[in-house]
Structure formats: structure tokens, C-alpha cells
Chains A and B, each alone.
Chain A
Amino acid sequence: MAKIFMNRNKQLEEYINEYLDLVSRTGLIFYEAIKSYIDEDEERFDEKFITITKMESEADEKRRSIKHKLYTYMLIPESRGDVLGLLENMDGIVDCCEKTVERFSIECPEIPEFVQHQFIDLAKFSRKTVEEVVKASRSFFKEIDLVEDFINKVHFYEHEADDVEEKLKRTVFQSKIKKFSRKVHLRYFAEKISMISDEAEEVAERLSVYAIKREM
């Protein structure tokens, strides 16, 4: 009997780990997609776009399954709301990554050479916030004392992303690009990429509260 209950908990534990793996991989794929786009490697970009779209639906499915199991088995009644809140917010990150790559695929913005490295940097910092927030989430489940360390890193990389975004926008608007609409288009994509780090920071803020609640 105890074994059945234990297996149930273990299975859900695996599901949560798999979900977090998915979020982490989404961040990596997102970065690779942006890099391929800027490197004008269309084939690679399309491949990454397909992967990230699949991962987004896979993550959705996994999250729904976790939610269902948490309620059906009446597990972690004290932290259930927090865990579901966390997973739902994580889903926001995955969505944001997927939607940004999709926008690149649809709108095909023309990225001038003088801001290409800034776009890559911005994507890199956004990816790093996702990586750190996933680490913070894993710690929330296993090693609560480490949550704050990872949250600090999320804040750091989010701040870096903000800096790069601001510089990028200034560069674009002070550049010799003639069409205002093109400038606005570039700003839009800078903001889109930066939004991922904002989403990650929001999850981190919530995690910080959940972690305090979980302290003994």
C-alpha cells in the first residue's frame, strides 16, 4: 500500500522534473533560433522553430497532467496552490519564447549588422534568466536554502538584459535608418526578446514568496 503511494509521488516528481527540463530546453532552443536567424541560417532557424512549437505544446500537456494528478491524489495540500502557480508562470516563459520565435518567422525583421551582436546578447541574457529560474524552481522542490541564490542571479541577468535592450533601442533610434517604421519594428523585437527575462523575473519574485512559505 505504502509502495503504491510512494510510486505515485515518485511519478509526479519525475513529471515535474521533465517539465522543468522542457522549460530549460525551451530557453536554449530560443537562443539558438535567434542566433540562427541573425546568422541567416534559415534551415537551422526553421528546424528550431518547429522544435520550440512542439515543446510548447508538450509543456502545456505536461503541466495539465501534473495539475490533474496533484488534485486527484490530493498531494501536497499545503503547497499545491504554490506549485501550480509556479508551473503556470513557467508556462508564461515557454509561451513567450515560442511566440517570439514565431514572430521572427512571420515578420522576418531585417536586423542591421551594427545591432546584431546586441540582439544576440539580449537573447543570451534572456536565456540565462530562464536557466537560473529553472534552477531556482528545482531548488524549491529539493533544496529550499538555495532558492534565493538563484533568484539573485535571475535579477542580475534580467538587469543586464534591460541594459542591453535600452542600449539597443538607443542605437537603433540614433542610427541612420531612414524609415521610422523599421526602427519601431526593431524596437518591438528587442522588447519581445527582453520580455522573456521579465517573465522569468516575475516567476522568481513569486518563487521567493513560495520559498518563505515553505520554510519550517
Chain B
Amino acid sequence: MFKILFLLSSGLFLGWSLGANDAANIFGTAVGTKMLDFKVAAIICSIFIILGAVVSGAGASHTLGKLGTVTNLGGAFVVALAAAITVLWMTKIGLPVSTSQAIVGAIIGWNFFTNNPTGVESLTKIVGTWIFSPILSAIFSFILFFIVKWFLGKTKIHLLRMDFYTRVGLLIVGAFGSYSLGANNIANVMGVFTKASPFSGVNILNLFHLSSTQILFLLGGLAIAVGVFTYSKKVMMTVGSNIFKLSPITAFVAVASSSLVLFLFASEGLKNLLVSHGLPSFPLVPVSSSQSIVGAVIGISLAKGGRNINFKLLGKISLGWITTPIAAAILSYISLFFMQNVFMLKV
């Protein structure tokens, strides 16, 4: 049991860092501007991340599985660890980083090391989605901005009543954003462990069944929740007051748009619905919530007439699409070598 927990620890650590960083993308402005209390935000965020992970986490995880299937717990440990270290290191040197990109790079590193072919089709799908998701987020926020503006102009709500509605709105989109984050990003945290899962399914009070993957996702969700509670407040205060400078209403627009994007790339139910009606569907791919929110903020800036767009940040993000996976792949390859040859563990 101890060994299993140890081998899962890298994934749990990745989950912790995801919770610490990405909760701010959802509740950052709301907490930073004091519209919502941190405790309330953290509780809602944790509950819905876990729900999203357990209920809808499988879709994006399958896509990662197609990219490369890590079959041993030792290998999964190293892959997740390489991704976690890459995220930490990139964060330290101030580059916008995404766990999605790190884990994809680390899986590719594993593919190279074990001579497994990398699923080119899934890789193209994943990279395409990385580029497409902030753009889609920008389009959504651009449209939603005008809808909200039109609605506010039409309804003439008093500032104080608006304050109440904005708080409720931020709480609802925050819950939706957390659910989507859990559903979409749990694949980054626990996706590599699914084929090497040491658990078997359980029936809870004969009411519902949790598969081995869902147990993993539950653990990952809990790790994310710990990250939210222990470290995200600091990040939220920074996001709320330094980087984006959104008002509570524009934050509502940004979070709703980026959450919708995360949801579209995570929901199997929506995909099945679209397919059953003969409509084009979205690939289920883990995307970066940070980049999605940046896309949404850019959409709002464009709606306001294109002022204050941070092109430097855009350049950094594009750079991250290349540097993060490459760094994670190299780190994963080297670590796997050590794991196999020094610690004699099957990867």
C-alpha cells in the first residue's frame, strides 16, 4: 500500500500544483476583488472539481491514453513526476505553463524511451486543440461581453442589486468552471496511471459504483482540492489584483467563456449528443485553463476596442506550446532511464 501511494505521489503532487495554480483562473478575480470569500470559493471549487473529475474525467483521459499507454506504475510515476517538475521549473522562471502540455511531453518521452509509437493522430488533435482553445475562449468572451453589456443596458439594474447578482453569477460560473476543470484536467493528473491502476472498482452502499479509474480520479481530485485550500489564495490575490485587472462583471464573462471551452473539450455527454444529431463534435482533450482564461481576457479586450492586449504574454504562451512539452519529454526520458537502470523498476 505504501509503495502504491508513493508511486501515485507524483500524480498527487501534480494535482496539488494544479489546484494551487488553476483555481485562481476560476475564482481569482472574485476573491481578489473581495466579491467572494476565499473559504466559500475554495469549498465550491473543491467540491465541483472532484465531481467533474469523477463524473466526467474519462473523456480527456482516453485521448491521452491514445497518445501513449503507460502500463506500469513505475513508468506512470516517472511520467507524472517529469511533468510536475517541468511545471514547477517553468513557473519558477516565470513562463506561463500548462500541466496539459507538460504531461503530453512527458508521455512522448515515455514513448521514446520504451520504443512505443506516438499516436500521431492524437498528437495532432491535442496540439491543434491547444492552439484552438484560447481562440475559442476569446470568441466566446467577445460574444458574451456584448450580450452582458446589452442585457445590463436594457435591464437598468441598480448598482447594489447588481452587486448581489454578480456575486451569485460568479459563484455559479465558478462552480461550472471548477466542474469543467476537474473533468478536463484530471487526465493530466491521473490519466497516466489509469492503465496501471492498482485499484479495483468498489460499490458504495450499493448505490453507485466507482470504477478503478474513478477511484484514481477521486484521489487526484482530492489532491487538487488540497492544492486549492493550501496554496491557491496567494495566487488568487495576485491574479485578482495584478495581472488581469478584471472587474467582477468582466471576470464573470471571462470565467464563463473559458469554463465553457474546458467543458466542451471534456464532456462525453455533449460529444455523444452532438454526434447523435450528426453535428461536428469537439475532441476530448485536456487543455490549459490558464491559456483559456488568457484567451477570454483577450476576447474582452478586443470587445472593448483592442486596448491593452499584452502581445508579450501571447508570445510567451505560444512559446510554451513548444518549450513545455519538449522540456517534459527530455526530463521524462532521462528520469525513466534512471528509474529503470538505477532503481531497477519496470517502466
Binding site for B on A (CB under 8 A): 2, 5-6, 9-10, 12-13, 16, 74-79, 83, 140-143, 145, 214, 216
A2 to B34, Cβ gap below 8 A? Answer: no
State in angstroms the CA–CA spacing of A9 and B158 once bound together: 10
A78 to B158, Cβ gap below 8 A? Answer: no
- Provided the pairs A13-B158, A142-B157, A143-B156 are in contact, do residues A75 and B163 lie with their beta carbons within 8 angstroms? yes
A8 to chain B, nearest CB (A): 8
Known: A75-B163, A83-B159. 14 other contacts (CB 8 A): A5-B164, A5-B167, A6-B164, A9-B164, A12-B160, A13-B158, A13-B160, A74-B34, A77-B34, A78-B33, A78-B35, A142-B156, A143-B156, A216-B152
Binding site for A on B (CB under 8 A): 33-35, 145, 148-149, 152-153, 156-161, 163-164, 167-168, 247-250, 304
B149 to chain A, nearest CB (A): 5
State in angstroms the CA–CA spacing of A9 and B157 once bound together: 12
Residues of A within 8 A of B164 (CB): 5-6, 9
B168 to A142, Cβ gap below 8 A? Answer: no
A to B CB contacts below 8 Å, 19 in the list: A5-B167, A6-B161, A9-B163, A9-B164, A10-B160, A10-B161, A13-B158, A74-B34, A76-B160, A76-B163, A78-B248, A140-B159, A141-B158, A141-B159, A141-B160, A142-B157, A142-B158, A214-B159, A216-B247
State in angstroms the CA–CA spacing of A77 and B170 once bound together: 14
Residues of B within 8 A of A143 (CB): 156
State in angstroms the CA–CA spacing of A83 and B163 once bound together: 13
Q: Which residue on chain B has the smallest CB distance to residue A214?
A: B159
A87 to chain B, nearest CB (A): 13
B156 to A76, Cβ gap below 8 A? Answer: no
Residues of A within 8 A of B158 (CB): 13, 141-142
Q: Which residue on chain A has the smallest CB distance to residue B162?
A: A76
A78 to B161, Cβ gap below 8 A? Answer: no
State in angstroms the CA–CA spacing of A214 and B247 once bound together: 9
Residues of A within 8 A of B163 (CB): 9, 75-76
A216 to B145, Cβ gap below 8 A? Answer: yes
Residues of B within 8 A of A76 (CB): 159-160, 163
Residues of A within 8 A of B249 (CB): 216
